[in-house]
Amino acid sequence: MLLEGRDITKAHGTGEGRVEVLRGVDLAMRPGESVALTGESGSGKSTLLHILAALEPADSGHVSLGGQDLGKLDDRGRAALRRRDIGLVFQQFNLIPSLSVADNLAFQARLAGRHEPHRIAALAERLGLTSTLSRYPEQLSGGQQQRVAIGRAIAARPRLLLADEPTGNLDEASADGVLELMRELVAETGAGFLMVTHSERLARRLDRRLRLHAGRLA
Amino acid sequence: MSGAGQSPPAPPSPTDALFRPVMAALLSYWLRQPLQLLTLVLGLALATALWSGVQAINAEARASYARAAAVLGQDQRDSLVPTVTGGGVDLTDFVRLRRAGWRVAPVIEGELPPDIGRLSVLGVDYLSLPPPDATAGEAQGVIPGEEAAPTYERAFAAPETLATLAPTARAALPPLAPSDMLPPGLLLTDISVAQRLLGRPGAIDRLIVLEPPAVWAPPLETLAPGLRRVAAGSALDGAQTGGVGRLADSFHLNLTAFGLLAFAVGLFIVHGAIGLAMEQRRGVFRTLRALGVPLATLIAALLVELLALALVAGLLGVAMGYGVAATLLPDVSATLEGLYGARIAGGLSFRPVWWLGGLAVALLGTLIAAAGALAQVVRLPVLAPARPRAWAMASRGGHRVQALAGLGLLAGAAATARWGAGVLAPLAGDQPGRLLAGFSLLAMLLLGAALLLPTLLGAGLSLGHRLTRWLAPGPLREWFWADTRQQLPGLSLALMALLLALAANIGVGTMVSSFRQTFTAYLDQRLAAELYVTARSDAEARAIAGWLAGRADAVLPLWRAEGRVATPAGPRAATIYGITDHATYRRNWPVLTALPDAWDRVADGTGAMVNEQLWRQDGIGPGDALNIGGAPLAVVGVYSDFGNLEGQVLISPPPLRARYPGAEGRRLVVRAPADAVAGLTARLRQRFALPPAALIDQAALKARSLRIFEQTFTVTAALNALTLSVAAFAIFTSLLTLSQMRLPQLAPVWAMGLTRRKLAMLELGRSVLLAVATFLLALPLGLLLAWVLLAVVNVAAFGWRLPMQLFPADWAILLALAVVAALLAAAIPVRRLARTPPTTFLQVFAHER
Ligand SMILES: Nc1ncnc2c1ncn2[C@@H]1O[C@H](COP(=O)(O)OP(=O)(O)OP(=O)(O)O)[C@@H](O)[C@H]1O
Ligand SMILES: [Mg+2]
């Protein structure tokens, strides 16, 4: 198993404002598998994704990535895991505004110690970003920015790519293009791919669909 | 720990591989925001410059004092001085001492006549006390053409002193050689040469004890009863040097306080700039953390970044500080010399310690200014919202805490004013205790007021808002007030800096102007007579008085003795004057408080007037009996006495001479028609061959005193201007950074039909409004500051209290300056706003989530 979660619970807030978002989530993913995570707004999709990405700890339960128990890691260990094994794409604000597109693309790979200039050049080509390499994020359209974020995640060769509504800001055609790219790249590297989406249409194009409802996966 | 399924090509090396890209990502921010970088560096550099400039001046002065004290090792050698003030050492006494086994060297000192140059002369016996580098001088530094002069005929002076000598002065002096060991303004010669230069052949002022007397040598009392032994360090006219030391210390303390204030104002800028940079990079921090940068690495990188910036700014600042010091030093040295007779070098020397100190202060200041922002980064959750909040948007609770802290500090200031000296006195001795209380009072006052400022301004703005709604309602006007209020948190740091700068300006300006005006009036009172004559002996004084009798309106002999008076705290050194009763005193003397018949009682020998110092510091006032020279006299009045640290008593000549048989009567106070003074002076000089210094005409003396004052003024004015410009810079940077965040707030108003021009004008108006409001709050604060300086710090440091005077014209000028500063500060951001292309406004809506 690439990713395993058992009986994950998580609550936000304290006292009266306390919301039990996840109430015992179980899931498992194999390498190379692509999974869509759907659910109503506020159902806890982002929360679950953050836990799987080692951004936030679960309140209870067990999460392991490639056999590594996330619960046993400190800040340094979780950071190392994110750096080397996880690729993340959010809905927006993914990029470092003061770095050029080229630098943004190479950034995580450099952090992970896997910087291969040829590969990044090839990726930029695939993503249609070659002409924008020396520009800055603010000079790109929303779709272009998302493609940079995807390229950055893929370039670091993660074992698991996690994306939270990566196409939420894009029109249908761009969204399809971006998703297609992600699927292809993931397939090439053999990584697992979990994507949160509201769109049934996009969800249908992945291997498997999970639905979060009332704090559990269905 | 990565699984076997995938083998990464290059194994991640631990910190280095992480650190470099993180560092690059952080630093890239500054490349994209050069203006912000400039603000930060310049703000820190300005702060460091003012601080280290003042320190450089202080260090230079201290070095000069140390050199002066160490001339010929006088700081380590005892002296024998005449027991009677003004008397000299008898040549026979000297010879007897030498024969009896006392190893002593004769010394004469005095001031050269001004037509040769403003130089002190110290004459020593080169045979028993060789000049510091007589031999070295022969080897290297002797002035060309003068090599032939024998050493004992040579005079030595510091190189900078030699450089300022006029050719005419050189002609009048013996062959000169430079010596680094001597303080500025001092000429060292053999005693025979000095006696000739000073016109006092055969005279000896005191003896330096070179070695302890031989065991078999008879004691001093039997050999030379007219001499007493003074311990090392206090040799040079004990009272006077001690006084100079303390006065000069106090001056330096004031300078240091000013430097510290300026540095604090500068830190406000740095704090703002760093806070902004952190806030704007929240998104970057989040991304970095999400991509797997450990918190520790992020913090370390931020620290490295800050320290690198601080280092650059610090170097720049120290260099600028050097410039500030070099510019101000001549004025400072003139002030010190004029006010306190302390001479310091006019040039600045290079001191590595001082450079390092300046750098350390810059680094420390940066860390202090950044502490809050760094703590926030530490607490920042990995998933913190990426969008920067409005900069420094303090919560309402934070405001309340700040205001409460401000009130607490003001209460502390009030308590210190009331009880501070009493509480602190046992800790630090009486006088330093009072000084310490004074300065803590200043600090609490300034900081407390600064912390209260945002709350007060906020209240003022909502009042304005309400009044507008009530008196002249209109959507745009109301929006203006509300929007100004919304800007307050982002501007409050800069406005605090402005408040401090303005208050310091008003406070110090009021103090100096009050001082100046009081001092001028005081000079008019104290120097009521037209001419002051100092003869070389009592007999000569009598002869001069006789000659003047038919030629002047009045000739009033003035007697003088150095003595001790009994105070509740023990005996205190004081100068006792015997004055001849005359309308000159009765009409003009600056009496603070007196019994009705005070002058009559002084005249008939039953009363004494004391100076302010004895009154304020020792509590001796009218009605008390004062023990002077062993017998009591009734104190009948108190007069003000600026520029003096010591006690002073006025009585009539008979009781003075009864108590002090050795009192000298060399001085004459002469009244004459103003147009006759010049003629009288010339004839007196000719008739009695008086040196120029023996005759002082009142007009010249006043002119000199005022010139000294103007120099003091220059220094304060320069520091004031610098502090104000630092504050203006703080406003500029805040406005500039705020303007970058203001688009989302302005875009809706623009969309509703307000032109960019109109928006820009409103922004200018806002800036002026806030500056004026801050000025209105700075005014009472500055006056309070002046009061503390005049009534607390001055009394503690000098023993005199100055009446505070108000100078509304100065305030008007300062207000105008503040408005101009605000306008200038707002100009660039507003120009930017006026030129913002409409598409940029539209983007605000496109990016709205
Ligand atoms: N930091 C937080 N503090 C308190 N409550 C939170 C926090 N973050 C999320 N929540 C709450 O937890 C619940 C789940 O939020 P989450 O963001 O995971 O939902 P989501 O499924 O991703 O929604 P959406 O589809 O709108 O993105 C929501 O009710 C939300 O209000
Ligand atoms: Mg979500």
Which domain, by its residues, includes A195? 34-58+74-217
Contacts with B580 (C-beta within 8 Å, 6 or more apart), sequence order: B556, B557, B558, B652, B653, B669
User: Is residue B684 in some structural domain?
Assistant: no
Nearest CA to ligand 1 atom 1: A12
User: Do residues B642 and B563 both lie within one domain?
Assistant: yes
Distance of alpha carbon B652 from the chain centroid: 39
Which domain, by its residues, includes B315? 18-71+248-386
Q: CA of B4: which chain A residue's CA is closest?
A: A66
Query: How many angstroms is it from A41 CA to the middle of ligand 2?
Result: 7
User: How far is the C-alpha of A84 from the C-alpha of B627, rounded, in Å?
Assistant: 90
User: Do residues B457 and B562 both lie within one domain?
Assistant: no
Instruction: Find out whether the beta carbon of A55 lies less than 6 Å from any atom of ligand 1.
Output: no
- Bigger pLDDT: B8 vs B437: B437
Across-strand partners of B667? B534, B558
User: Do residues B552 and B590 both lie within one domain?
Assistant: yes
The label of the residue with tokens 């875009």 reads: B747
User: How far is the C-alpha of A65 from the C-alpha of A3, rounded, in Å?
Assistant: 5
Phi, psi of B185 (to 5 degrees): 80, 10
**Residue ranges of chain B whose CB lies within 8 Å of a chain A CB:** 1-3, 5-6, 8-13, 17-18, 20-22, 24-25, 28-29, 31-33, 283-284, 286-297, 382-383, 386-387, 849
Q: Decide if B344 contacts B336 (C-beta within 8 A).
A: yes
- Bigger pLDDT: B389 vs B567: B567
Of A164, A171, A173, which is closest to residue A198 (Cα–Cα)?
Answer: A164
Nearest CA to ligand 1 atom 14: A44
Residues, chain B: 849
User: Do residues B255 and B379 both lie within one domain?
Assistant: yes
Q: Of the residues B185, B212, B240, which one is the last residue of a structural domain?
A: B240
User: Is residue B198 in some structural domain?
Assistant: yes
Instruction: Find out whether the beta carbon of A43 lies less than 6 Å from any atom of ligand 1.
Output: yes
Query: How many angstroms is it from A53 CA to the middle of ligand 1?
Result: 16
Strands of the sheet with A160-164, listed across from one edge: A86-89, A160-164, A192-196, A34-39, A208-213, A216-217
Instruction: Find out whether the beta carbon of A47 lies less than 6 Å from any atom of ligand 1.
Output: yes
| pLDDT tens-digit readout, B96-106 | 888 887 888 88
What pLDDT score does B276 carry?
A: 73
Q: Is the dihedral of CA B748, B847, A82, A119 positive or negative?
A: negative
User: Is residue A127 in some structural domain?
Assistant: yes
Q: Which one of A99, A116, A135, A140 would you mutate to disrupt binding with B, by most B Cβ within 10 Å of its Cβ?
A: A99
User: How far is the C-alpha of B716 from the C-alpha of B332, rounded, in Å?
Assistant: 10
Q: How many CB contacts within 8 angstroms connect chain A with chain B? A: 114
Which range of B168-182, B320-334, B485-499, B671-685 scores highest in mean pLDDT? It is B671-685
The residue to mutate among A23, A40, A47, having the most atoms of ligand 1 within 8 angstroms of its beta carbon, is A47
Instruction: Find out whether the beta carbon of A42 lies less than 6 Å from any atom of ligand 1.
Output: yes
What pLDDT score does B254 carry?
A: 64
User: Is residue B692 in some structural domain?
Assistant: no
Q: Do A50 and B383 touch (CB under 8 A)?
A: yes
| pLDDT tens-digit readout, A176-218 | 888 888 888 888 888 999 999 988 888 999 999 999 998 898 8
Residues whose Cβ atom is located within 5 A of ion ligand 2: A 46
Of A208, A154, A142, which is closest to residue A181 (Cα–Cα)?
Answer: A154
User: Do residues B62 and B96 both lie within one domain?
Assistant: no
User: How far is the C-alpha of B43 from the C-alpha of B48, rounded, in Å?
Assistant: 9
Contacts with A46 (C-beta within 8 Å, 6 or more apart), sequence order: A164, A196
Q: Which atom of ligand 1 is nearest to the CA of A50?
A: 18
Percent of chain A with pLDDT over 70: 100
| pLDDT tens-digit readout, B718-754 | 777 777 777 777 777 767 666 666 666 677 667 666 7
Strands B554-567 and B664-671: antiparallel
User: How far is the C-alpha of B578 from the C-alpha of B355, rounded, in Å?
Assistant: 53
Q: How would residue B264 be classed by pLDDT, with cut points 50, 70 and 90?
A: confident
Q: Which atom of ligand 1 is nearest to the CA of A43?
A: 21
User: How far is the C-alpha of B565 from the C-alpha of A97, rounded, in Å?
Assistant: 77
How many domains, in total, are found in chain A? 1
Quick one: average pLDDT of B220-242?
59
Q: Of the residues B337, B369, B386, which one is the last residue of a structural domain?
A: B386
Q: Helix, strand, coil % (nearest 5) of chain A?
A: 40, 25, 35
User: Do residues B397 and B381 both lie within one domain?
Assistant: no
User: Do residues B54 and B84 both lie within one domain?
Assistant: no
| pLDDT tens-digit readout, B61-74 | 667 666 666 666 66
User: How far is the C-alpha of B665 from the C-alpha of B653, rounded, in Å?
Assistant: 9
Residue B354 distance to chain A (closest CA, Å): 38
Q: How would residue B369 be classed by pLDDT, with cut points 50, 70 and 90?
A: confident
Of B213, B219, B221, B232, which is closest to residue B83 (Cα–Cα)?
Answer: B221
The CA-based angle A174-A178-A179, given to 5 degrees, is: 115
The label of the residue with tokens 């040579």 reads: B154
Among candidates A84, A86, A90 on the partner chain, residue whose Cβ is nearest the Cβ of B12: A84
User: Is residue B696 in some structural domain?
Assistant: no
Which range of A36-45, B388-397, B645-654 scores highest in mean pLDDT? It is A36-45
The residue to mutate among A9, A10, A23, A43, having the most atoms of ligand 1 within 8 angstroms of its beta carbon, is A43
> Is A16 touching B (CB cutoff 8 A)?
no
User: Is residue A19 in some structural domain?
Assistant: no
Among candidates B8, B20, B387 on the partner chain, residue whose Cβ is nearest the Cβ of A114: B8
Q: Decide if A116 contacts A185 (C-beta within 8 A).
A: no
Query: How many angstroms is it from B746 CA to the middle of ligand 2?
Result: 30
Instruction: Find out whether the beta carbon of A137 lies less than 6 Å from any atom of ligand 1.
Output: no
With b for 16 or more beta-carbon neighbours within 10 A and e for fewer, the A93-127 pattern comes to: bbbbbbbbbbbbbbbbbbbbbbbeeebbeebbebb
Please give the C-alpha separations between residue A71 and each of B3, B345, B382, B618, in angstroms, as whole numbers: 18, 70, 17, 75
What pLDDT score does B147 carry?
A: 46
Residue A100 distance to chain B (closest CA, Å): 9
Q: How far apart are the first and last CA of chain B?
A: 40
| DSSP helix/strand/coil, B638 | strand
Contacts of B2 in chain A (CB under 8 A): 66, 84-85, 159
Structure tokens at B157: 């002076």
User: How far is the C-alpha of A89 from the C-alpha of A74, rounded, in Å?
Assistant: 23
Q: CA of B284: which chain A residue's CA is closest?
A: A96
Query: How many angstroms is it from B655 CA to the middle of ligand 2?
Result: 99
Residues, chain A: 218
Q: Helix, strand, coil % (nearest 5) of chain B?
A: 65, 10, 25
User: Is residue A5 in some structural domain?
Assistant: no
User: How far is the C-alpha of B534 from the C-alpha of B550, rounded, in Å?
Assistant: 19
Q: Do A84 and B24 touch (CB under 8 A)?
A: no
The label of the residue with tokens 């001004």 reads: B114
Q: What pTM, to 2 d.p., does this model score? A: 0.64
Quick one: average pLDDT of B633-647?
81
User: Do residues B232 and B257 both lie within one domain?
Assistant: no
Q: Which amino acid is at A131?
A: S
Contacts with B837 (C-beta within 8 Å, 6 or more apart), sequence order: none
> Is A110 touching B (CB cutoff 8 A)?
yes
User: Is residue A176 in some structural domain?
Assistant: yes
How many domains, in total, are found in chain B? 4
Alpha-helical segments (H) within B619-689: 653-659, 677-688
User: How far is the C-alpha of B662 from the C-alpha of B679, rounded, in Å?
Assistant: 33
User: Do residues B544 and B663 both lie within one domain?
Assistant: yes
Q: Of the residues B369, B386, B403, which one is the last residue of a structural domain?
A: B386
Contacts with B533 (C-beta within 8 Å, 6 or more apart), sequence order: B541, B544, B667, B668, B670, B684, B690, B694, B695, B696
Contacts of A90 in chain B (CB under 8 A): 290
Q: Do B382 and A94 touch (CB under 8 A)?
A: no
User: Is residue B332 in some structural domain?
Assistant: yes
User: Is residue B269 in some structural domain?
Assistant: yes
Q: Decide if B494 contacts B272 (C-beta within 8 A).
A: yes
User: Do residues B255 and B361 both lie within one domain?
Assistant: yes
Residue A37 has pLDDT above 90, yes or no: yes
Query: How many angstroms is it from A42 CA to the middle of ligand 1?
Result: 5
Query: How many angstroms is it from B459 CA to the middle of ligand 1?
Result: 38
User: How far is the C-alpha of B85 from the C-alpha of B560, rounded, in Å?
Assistant: 9
User: Is residue B712 in some structural domain?
Assistant: yes
Which range of A183-187, B3-7, B240-244, B488-492 scores highest in mean pLDDT? It is A183-187
User: Do residues B453 and B306 both lie within one domain?
Assistant: no
What pLDDT score does B208 carry?
A: 83
**Half-sphere exposure in the Cβ direction for B839 (13 Å, CA):** 0
- Bigger pLDDT: A167 vs B511: A167
Q: CA of B14: which chain A residue's CA is closest?
A: A113
Report chain B's mean pLDDT, rounded to a whole number.
Answer: 76
Query: How many angstroms is it from B394 CA to the middle of ligand 2?
Result: 28
Contacts of B28 in chain A (CB under 8 A): 96, 98-99, 103
- Residue B211 gets the label, from left (phi > 0), alpha (psi -120 to 50) or beta, of beta
User: Is residue A17 in some structural domain?
Assistant: no
Instruction: Find out whether the beta carbon of A21 lies less than 6 Å from any atom of ligand 1.
Output: yes
CATH classification at residue A177: 3.40.50.300
Q: Decide if A194 contacts A160 (C-beta within 8 A).
A: yes
What pLDDT score does B387 carry?
A: 45
User: How far is the C-alpha of B836 from the C-alpha of B505, rounded, in Å?
Assistant: 37
User: Is residue B525 in some structural domain?
Assistant: no
Q: Decide if A106 contacts A115 (C-beta within 8 A).
A: yes
